[in-house]
Amino acid sequence: MTVIYNREDKIFRGVVTGGALTSLIVLGLIGVFLFMRGAQIFGDKGIQFITGTNWTAGSGDGVIPDDFSIGAMLVGTIVVSLIALVIAVPLAIGGALYLEFYAPRRIRRTLVTLLDLAASIPSLIFGLWGIEIFTGFGERWAVLINNWLGFIPIFSVEFDNFGRSPFIAGCVLGSLIIPITTSVAREVYSRTPRDLVDTCYALGGNKWGALRAVVIPYGKSGVIGGAMLGLGRALGETVAVYLLLNLVFRYNFRILESEGGNVASLIATKFGEATEYELNALVAAGFVLFLLTLVVNMTATTIVQRSTPRA
């Protein structure tokens, strides 16, 4: 069947296509710029730049050589983001189901408005909230986790200092991405065909049975998409992690240990006083983070497409 477009359709199609291509071109130019600026670092350090754990600015006269690598920060980025995701996704699913199927209509409108407003709050506010308010609660939670689960390596610590740890930073990042994940999940749950839900009721099921059998499976792709969107924000988060984590260049898989960092906070910390060569190293670190975020988004797209219900 041949589709015939009128003049207005052709103009609109051209505008939309141009906008999409412009986005791709800009994204590609950003990636090329980051790679070109960091090419010298990749050539000098090779794979060591990604796997190493040292960041030393040389003396300039060659007595102390430059040595830059982001392995520890890359691991810290992934660890903190995964902690945030583990905390945010269950709360987002529960919040989305409550808003869509349990909350009274008037309360729902208010909560949805507040949810959308929370998604636009700058990360600086979350970082300050984490330092001033949440850290005290988080440290007590960390002590309890260590007391009960300290025999598991990731929950053990060398020193009883539980502040400024990946766990604290992950909790704050989790609260930061909950509004986004919840909003996407709620929107998808709201599109569940009502006849499927009514069929579940007709067969004698209750509301929870309908949610478990119909709504949650139907909205799986939306939850995954929202979670990956939140993960993408967590991977690139700068200010909140900068305020909540001690920057230590060492692989740290103990989430309650008071040390860590991520690539974005490394760039923010070192950028102001960096030498020309160190600036290239920071740009190279940004390129690695760019690729990591791109891979996460592409993976999310693949998962969502495979899990989307088909007619």
Provide the residue-wise pLDDT of the chain in tens; the chain has 311 residues.
566 667 777 888 888 888 889 988 998 999 999 999 999 999 988 899 999 888 888 766 666 788 899 999 999 999 999 999 999 999 999 999 999 888 888 888 898 888 888 888 888 888 888 888 888 889 999 999 999 998 999 999 888 888 889 999 999 999 989 988 898 888 888 888 888 887 887 777 788 888 888 888 888 877 888 888 888 888 888 777 888 888 888 888 899 988 888 898 888 888 888 888 899 999 999 999 999 888 888 887 777 676 655 54
Query: How is residue 98 annotated by DSSP?
Result: I
Query: How is residue 132 annotated by DSSP?
Result: I
Number of folded domains in the chain?
A: 1
Q: Is residue 209 part of a domain?
A: yes
Contact 224, 300 (CB under 8 A): yes
Phi/psi of residue 247, each to 5°?
-75, 105
pLDDT computed for residue 36 by the predictor: 93
Q: Is residue 303 part of a domain?
A: yes
Query: How is residue 271 annotated by DSSP?
Result: G
Task: Say how far apart CA 196 and CA 181 lie, in whole Å.
Answer: 24
pLDDT computed for residue 5 by the predictor: 67
pLDDT computed for residue 154 by the predictor: 92
Q: Which CATH number covers residue 283?
A: 1.10.3720.10
Measure Cα distances from 288 to 76, 271, 284 in Å. 14, 16, 6
* Range(s) of the domain holding residue 94: 71-307
Q: Is residue 192 part of a domain?
A: yes
Question: Six-digit token pair at 235?
Answer: 């991977």
Q: Is residue 107 part of a domain?
A: yes
> In sequence order, what are the beta bridge partners of 247?
260
Q: Is residue 49 part of a domain?
A: no
Task: Say how far apart CA 177 and CA 185 lie, in whole Å.
Answer: 12
Query: How is residue 282 annotated by DSSP?
Result: H
Residues 6+ apart with CB under 8 A from 193: 218
Q: Is residue 282 part of a domain?
A: yes
pLDDT computed for residue 309 by the predictor: 56
Question: Six-digit token pair at 12?
Answer: 């609109």
Q: Is residue 277 part of a domain?
A: yes
pLDDT computed for residue 307 by the predictor: 61
Q: Is residue 202 part of a domain?
A: yes
Phi/psi of residue 206, each to 5°?
-95, -175
